[in-house]
C-alpha cells in the first residue's frame, strides 16, 4: 500500500520536498539484489522489498522527527549510508528507506586522536582528513568507499589494521543515536556534554544495546554521529598515489614496508601468526591476495600491477614458469605492513620480522618485493580502495567457511576445507575454479591478536540462476562441514536468521523456532526484552534476533 497523503506530507514537511521521493524509479534503486555480496546472506535469486518512500534527512533532528512519524503510523524504517550489504535495506512492504548521504561531516580532534563523524563520512575521506594530522583509522574489509559510522556502529568491522588499531567496535567512543521510539541518546561522556572521548558509562554502558560482537545492522533506530579512535600515521600528510589504473601505487618513505611472508606448511604459518599476536610489530596483517585463489593469485597480481595486461592474459600467465615458481613460493602466505614511528623503531621491526621468519621457517616472497608490486600492495592494503577486485573474476563473490576462532584449531583444517571447495570447483560448474584455497582475512580480528577474521572467497555469476543455486548448495555443504568440525556457523549464513530467503522479515514465531534450540537461549530472550524496551513498535525489522522469553526451555 502507498503511504497515505497526510503521512507523506508530514515526512515531506520534515526534510523538504527535494529530500523525499516515492517515484517508482527512485524507490526501485533502493532495492538490493540478494544474489551477491550480501555480507553474508544469500546467494538468493530475489530482491529486497520496494520502499514506500526514500527519505534523505539532513540532521539528527530531522531523523528524530521522521522516526516519530514512523512510530505514530507504525511504518517500518531502515537507514543506510553506503548500502554495501542487504542489511541496509528494508524487509517489509510497509516501510520507508532512509538514505543518510546528506549527513557527512567530519571533525578531527588531533590531540585526543579521534574523529567525530556523521553517517556518510566514508573511510577514504576520514582517512585523508586524519592523515593531514598524522593519524589513521581502522578500515575494515568492506573497504574505504563505505561509511565508517556504519561499519563501526552497525556491523563487524575487522580488517587488515585491526591487529594494531583494534576492530571498529573497539574504536567506538561516544555515539549519538536516535532510538527506535524517537528519543535521542548520546552514550558515554557525550551524554553529559563532557566531550566525545569515552563511550562507556556512566555505570553500565548503553552501547550494549546496539553494539555487541556486531552492530544491530540498522534494526534499532538510527545512529547519527559517532566518535572513532584514531591511530598513528607516521607517513606524509596525504597518501601519495602514482601509476595507471588499475596499477595505482603508493610511493611512501622507507619507514613503510610491505612484505608477503611465506611458509612451508600451516604449522610454520601458525607459529608466525602466534608470535605476531604476542608482539607489537605489525601496522597491518592480512592474508589478502589469496582471495584470487591459490592457483591464480600470482598471475592476478601481475595483471593488476601492469596496466598493459588484462584478464584475458590470465591463461598465458598461468603457463609462465617463473610466475609458477613465485606462486608456489607464496602458496601459504600472508601480507604484513610494518611502519616505523622512528628510524630505530623501523630497524627493530625489520629485525623482528626476520626473527619471526627464522622461528617459523618462513621467507619473504621475491615478486612481492619488486618496487612496483610492493608499492601497489602498500596502497591496496593501507587504503582498501580496490574493493572492485573482489568481483573481477566472475562478477560476484560471497565469503564462506569463516573459521575465525582459535588459530591452532583452524589452521590444521585449512587443507581439508580447501579440498572441499576444490571438489565443488572441479565437479560442479557453479563456482569459479581458483585452486580450492581462497581463504583470506585478518591476522587478527581484534586488537592485539587472539582471534582471526577469515573467510573463503567464492566467485560465481550473480546473473546466472544455476550459478546462484549451485553456490547456495556449496554453502550448504560448507555449513555441514563446519558443523561436523565444531566450528559453528558458516560465514555465508551469518544473516540467514535475520531475513527470509524471499528477503522479507521473519516473524517472531520463526525466530522462536530457531533460537529455542540454542545452547544458551537466554541470549536471544534478553535481546527480546531489550527490543521491547527500546523498540516497542518493532519498526526495525528482524535483524535484531529475538526469542520470546517464555519459550526458553526449563533448566536452560
> What residues numbered 485-514 form the site for other proteins, per CB under 8 A?
486, 488
How many C-beta neighbours within 10 Å does residue 5 have?
8
Q: Are 190 and 128 in contact (CB under 8 A)?
A: no
Per CB under 8 A, the segment of 34-42, 327-335, 455-463, 526-534 that binds other proteins is 526-534
Binding track, positions 447-466, relative to other proteins; x by CB under 8 A: xx-xx---------------
Candidates 195, 236, 246, 395; binder of other proteins (CB under 8 A) is 195
Q: Which of 35, 189, 365, 390 binds other proteins (CB under 8 A)?
A: 189
Is residue 236 involved in binding other proteins (CB under 8 A)?
no
Query: Whose Cβ is closer to other proteins: residue 53's or residue 227's?
Result: 227
CB distance 534 to 220 below 8 Å: yes
Cα(487)–Cα(412) distance, rounded to whole angstroms? 13
Q: Is residue 269 a contact residue for other proteins (CB under 8 A)?
A: no
The correct pick among 74, 351, 423, 465 for binding other proteins (CB under 8 A) is: 351
Strands 53-55 and 95-99: parallel
Of 58, 68, 201, 369, the residue at the interface with other proteins (CB under 8 A) is: 201
Smallest separation (angstroms) from other proteins to the CB of 219: 8
Q: Using CA atoms, how far apart are residues 174 and 449, in angstroms rounded to an integer?
A: 24
On whether the CB atoms of residues 114 and 133 are closer than 8 A, the answer is no
Q: Decide: is 341 part of the binding site for other proteins (CB under 8 A).
A: yes
Find out whether 334 and 273 touch, Cβ atoms under 8 Å.
Answer: yes
Q: What is the distance between the alpha carbons of residues 138 and 152, in angstroms, rounded to a whole number?
A: 9
Q: What does the per-residue mask of binding to other proteins show for 70-109, with x meaning CB under 8 A?
A: ----------------------------------------
3-state secondary structure of 529: helix
Cβ proximity to other proteins: between 158 and 457 the closer is 158
Q: How far is the CB of 48 from other proteins (least distance, A)?
A: 20
Tell which residue, 477, 481, 475, has the closest CA to residue 457.
475
Coil, strand or helix at 459: strand
The distance of Cα 303 from the centroid of its chain, to the nearest Å, equals 26
Residues 387-446 that bind other proteins (CB under 8 A): 405-406, 408-409, 445-446
* Residue in 17, 18, 24, 213 binding other proteins, rule: CB under 8 A: 213
Span from 78-86, 161-169, 305-313, 325-333 in contact with other proteins (CB under 8 A): 161-169
Shortest Cβ distance from residue 273 to other proteins (Å)? 12
Beta strands in 213-327 (DSSP E): 222-229, 231-232, 241-242, 249-250, 256-262, 284-287
Amino acid at each position: 500500500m502507498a503511504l497515505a497523503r497526510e503521512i507523506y506530507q508530514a515526512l515531506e514537511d520534515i526534510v523538504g520536498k527535494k529530500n523525499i521521493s516515492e517515484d517508482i524509479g527512485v524507490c526501485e534503486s533502493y532495492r538490493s539484489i540478494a544474489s551477491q555480496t550480501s555480507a553474508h546472506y544469500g546467494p538468493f535469486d530475489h530482491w529486497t522489498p520496494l520502499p514506500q518512500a526514500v527519505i534523505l534527512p539532513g540532521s539528527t533532528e530531522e531523523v528524530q522527527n521522521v522516526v516519530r512519524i514512523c512510530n505514530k503510523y507504525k511504518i517500518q524504517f531502515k537507514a543506510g549510508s553506503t548500502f554495501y550489504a542487504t542489511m541496509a535495506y528494508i524487509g517489509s512492504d510497509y516501510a520507508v528507506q532512509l538514505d543518510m548521504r546528506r549527513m557527512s561531516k567530519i571533525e578531527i580532534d588531533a590531540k585526543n586522536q579521534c574523529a567525530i563523524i556523521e553517517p556518510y563520512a566514508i573511510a577514504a575521506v576520514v582517512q585523508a582528513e586524519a592523515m593531514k594530522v598524522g593519524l589513521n583509522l581502522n578500515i575494515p574489509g568492506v573497504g574505504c568507499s563505505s561509511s565508517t559510522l556504519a561499519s563501526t556502529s552497525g556491523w563487524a568491522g575487522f580488517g587488515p589494521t585491526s591487529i594494531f588499531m583494534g576492530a571498529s567496535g573497539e574504536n567506538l567512543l561516544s555515539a549519538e543515536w536516535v532510538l527506535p521510539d524517537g528519543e535521542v541518546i548520546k552514550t558515554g561522556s557525550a551524554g553529559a556534554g563532557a566531550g566525545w572521548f569515552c563511550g562507556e558509562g556512566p555505570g553500565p554502558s548503553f552501547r550494549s544495546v546496539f553494539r555487541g560482537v556486531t552492530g544491530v545492522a540498522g534494526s534499532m533506530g538510527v545512529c547519527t554521529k559517532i566518535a572513532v579512535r584514531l591511530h598513528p600515521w607516521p607517513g606524509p600528510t596525504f597518501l601519495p598515489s602514482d601509476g595507471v589504473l588499475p596499477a595505482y601505487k603508493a610511493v611512501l618513505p622507507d619507514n613503510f614496508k610491505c612484505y608477503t611472508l611465506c611458509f612451508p606448511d600451516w604449522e610454520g604459518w601458525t607459529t608466525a601468526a602466534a608470535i605476531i599476536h604476542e608482539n607489537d610489530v605489525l601496522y597491518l596483517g592480512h592474508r589478502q591476495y589469496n582471495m584470487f585463489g591459490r592457483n591464480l593469485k600470482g598471475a592476478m597480481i601481475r595483471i593488476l600491477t601492469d596496466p598493459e595486461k588484462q584478464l584475458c592474459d590470465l591463461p598465458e600467465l598461468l603457463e609462465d614458469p617463473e610466475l609458477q615458481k613465485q606462486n608456489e613460493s607464496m602458496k601459504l602466505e600472508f601480507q604484513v605492513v610494518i611502519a616505523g614511528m622512528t628510524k630505530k623503531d623501523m630497524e627493530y621491526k625489520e629485525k623482528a620480522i626476520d626473527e619471526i621468519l627464522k622461528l617459523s621457517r618462513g621467507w619473504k616472497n621475491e615478486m612481492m618485493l619488486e618496487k612496483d608490486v610492493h608499492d601497489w600492495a602498500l596502497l591496496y592494503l593501507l587504503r582498501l580502495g580496490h574493493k572492485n577486485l573482489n568481483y573481477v573474476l566472475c562478477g560476484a563473490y560471497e565469503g564462506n567457511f569463516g573459521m575465525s576462532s582459535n588459530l591452532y584449531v583452524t589452521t590444521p583444517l585449512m587443507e581439508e576445507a580447501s579440498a572441499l571447495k576444490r571438489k565443488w570447483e572441479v565437479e560442479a560448474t557453479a563456482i569459479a575454479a581458483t585452486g580450492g584455497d581462497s581463504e583470506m582475512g585478518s591476522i587478527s580480528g581484534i586488537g592485539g591478536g587472539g582471534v582471526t577474521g577469515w573467510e573463503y572467497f567464492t566467485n560465481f555469476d550473480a546473473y546466472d540462476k544455476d550459478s546462484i543455486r549451485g553456490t547456495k548448495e556449496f554453502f550448504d555443504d560448507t555449513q555441514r562441514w563446519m558443523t561436523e568440525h565444531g566450528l559453528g556457523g558458516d560465514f555465508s549464513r551469518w544473516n540467514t536468521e535475520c531475513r527470509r530467503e524471499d528477503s522479507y522479515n521473519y516473524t517472531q514465531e520463526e525466530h522462536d523456532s530457531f533460537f529455542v534450540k540454542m545452547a544458551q537461549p537466554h541470549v536471544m530472550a534478553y535481546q527480546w526484552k531489550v527490543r521491547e524496551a527500546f523498540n516497542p513498535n518493532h519498526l526495525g525489522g528482524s535483524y535484531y534476533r529475538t526469542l520470546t522469553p517464555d519459550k526458553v526451555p526449563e533448566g536452560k
